[in-house]
């Protein structure tokens, strides 16, 4: 597959955010943006990423024999290192600039990417906060959640608890049955709005590392295909890992980085910077 000049341009062209959108993200730590990708670009990368996922996927355990986490999605990491075409998508300046503008940083690096494909009949994704897994010094992190097709609620759209980055209870939980139960109980007794909405084709959400989120089950017989890109402030520093998952993430996503120093490894290039 080859990128057309139109698609190359679509990946570079800046997406203008309003000050209201930046304020909304600052307050709620998530935002959904429409028409970030046009149909031609979305369809092209739907095919390219699906082909790569099919090649990389090794899971053949039947759904009913998997854990809650295993039922939630097929998860594959750092696709950008496996395929030059997919790398063009992951390294898109258009997407990286949105991430930088929302976080109000001078630029962003990639932490890593992952494909999250929820099979037909796949289960819900439990409530969790991503940054529990990350050995990163600040909360200047954001994940672009990019559905590769229109995503009605029946496919398992991403749901957010708006502004819930303010809660510290539940941050220490791995994703699973316990995080679903405890975080759900905590969110019930707070005033944070639970946002459950479908995604149009070309619509993308961005959410910060500490905002709580989940996704519904896929009650259809189609695959829900989502690509995610995790960005961090280009000046992010590695912190002393606080749990085994953070230690594992250090060795996997930023090997060679030193505690207390800037994360600047070959796996974490700058994708966008001002000026």
Q: Please report whether residue 274 resides in a domain.
A: no
Q: What are the start-end ranges of the H helices in the chain?
A: 5-12, 19-28, 39-56, 68-72, 84-90, 93-103, 177-188, 244-253
Q: Please report whether residue 233 resides in a domain.
A: yes
Please tell me the predicted confidence (pLDDT) of residue 72: 66
Q: Please report whether residue 5 resides in a domain.
A: no
Q: Please report whether residue 58 resides in a domain.
A: yes
Q: Please report whether residue 51 resides in a domain.
A: yes
Please tell me the predicted confidence (pLDDT) of residue 68: 78
Cβ–Cβ under 8 Å, residues 116 and 77: no
DSSP state of 104: T
The neighbour count for residue 221, using CB atoms within 10 Å, is 8
Q: Please report whether residue 157 resides in a domain.
A: yes
Q: How many domains does the chain have?
A: 1
The neighbour count for residue 13, using CB atoms within 10 Å, is 13
Please tell me the predicted confidence (pLDDT) of residue 69: 66
Structural domain boundaries enclosing 139: 29-266
CATH of the domain at 236: 2.60.120.620
Instruction: Provide, rounded to the nearest whole percent, the portion of the chain with pLDDT above 90.
Output: 83
Please tell me the predicted confidence (pLDDT) of residue 86: 98
Please tell me the predicted confidence (pLDDT) of residue 171: 79
pTM for the model: 0.95
Q: Tell me the per-residue pLDDT of 143-191, one tens digit each, with 9 for 90 and over.
A: 999 999 999 999 999 999 999 999 888 878 888 899 889 899 988 878 8
Can you tell me the distance from the alpha carbon of 82 to that of 21, in angstroms, rounded to the nearest whole number? 34
Q: Please report whether residue 11 resides in a domain.
A: no
- 2, HSE (Cβ side, Cα atoms, 13 Å): 2
Greater pLDDT, 59 or 80: 80
Enumerate the β-bridge partners of residue 115: 76, 227
Q: Please report whether residue 21 resides in a domain.
A: no
Average pLDDT score over the chain: 95
Residue 12 has pLDDT above 80, yes or no: yes
Q: Tell me the per-residue pLDDT of 216-248, one tens digit each, with 9 for 90 and over.
A: 999 999 999 999 999 999 999 999 999 999 999
């Amino acid at each position: 597959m080859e990128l057309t000049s139109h698609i190359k341009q679509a990946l570079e062209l800046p997406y203008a955010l309003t000050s209201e959108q930046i304020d909304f993200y600052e307050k709620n730590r998530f935002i959904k943006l429409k028409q970030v990708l046009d149909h031609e670009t979305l369809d092209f990368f739907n095919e390219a990423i699906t082909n790569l996922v099919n090649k990389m996927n090794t899971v053949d355990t039947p759904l009913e024999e998997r854990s809650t986490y295993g039922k939630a999605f097929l998860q594959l990491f750092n696709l950008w290192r496996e395929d030059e075409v997919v790398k063009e998508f992951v390294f898109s300046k258009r997407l990286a600039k949105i991430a930088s503008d929302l976080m109000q940083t001078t630029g962003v690096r990639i932490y890593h990417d992952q494909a999250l494909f929820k099979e037909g009949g796949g289960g819900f994704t439990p409530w969790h906060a991503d940054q529990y897994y990350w050995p990163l010094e600040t909360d200047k992190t954001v994940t672009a959640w990019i559905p590769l097709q229109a995503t009605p609620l029946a496919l398992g759209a991403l749901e957010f608890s708006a502004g819930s980055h303010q809660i510290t209870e539940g941050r220490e939980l791995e994703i699973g049955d316990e995080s679903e139960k405890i975080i759900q109980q905590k969110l019930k007794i707070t005033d944070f709005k639970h946002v459950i909405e479908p995604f149009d084709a070309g619509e993308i959400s961005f959410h910060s590392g500490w905002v709580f989120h989940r996704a519904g089950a896929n009650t259809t017989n189609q695959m829900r295909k989502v690509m995610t890109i995790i960005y961090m402030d280009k000046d992010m520093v590695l912190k002393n890992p606080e749990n085994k998952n953070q230690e594992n993430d250090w060795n996997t996503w930023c090997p060679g980085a030193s505690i207390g120093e800037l994360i600047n490894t070959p796996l974490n290039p700058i994708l966008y910077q001002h000026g």
